[in-house]
Amino acid sequence: MSNKRKRDILIINLEGELDHHHAQEVRDYIDGKLDDASIRHLILDLSKLRFMDSSGIGVFIGRYKIISKRDGHVCITSVNQQLDKILELSGLYRILKVYDTVDKAIDGIRGA
């Protein structure tokens, strides 16, 4: 897991598996970064995420709630076929914006 920042956008690169074994670690990592109230938007890059279960869905929803209170957007990028199925069935596509790449997500947030 790694991150970078572009002004008020936090970009988190998730890797490996986001399941009940790793969800708390991911939650704590992201929340530690979101302690900085100047972050208004969150992009979750899923290009290296191989697996996610319901614990991962909970991580996404919790971070969505934090960012929503800041009138920001949560975006996900680089969704593979397996993750697409989970995100579709969970209903997360109704609250998260989806982009092919991080750059397109940044453009979407900026209104380009």
The H-or-E segment that residue 12 falls in is strand 9-18
Per residue in 74-92, pLDDT (tens digit) is 999 999 999 999 999 999 9
Averaged pLDDT of the chain: 96
pLDDT at residue 15 in the model: 96
| Confidence bin at 112 (pLDDT 50/70/90) | low
Q: Read off the pTM.
A: 0.95
Query: How far is the C-alpha of 7 from the C-alpha of 61, rounded, in Å?
Result: 23
Phi, psi of 103 (to 5 degrees): -60, -40
Using only the alpha carbons of the chain, give its radius of gyration: 13
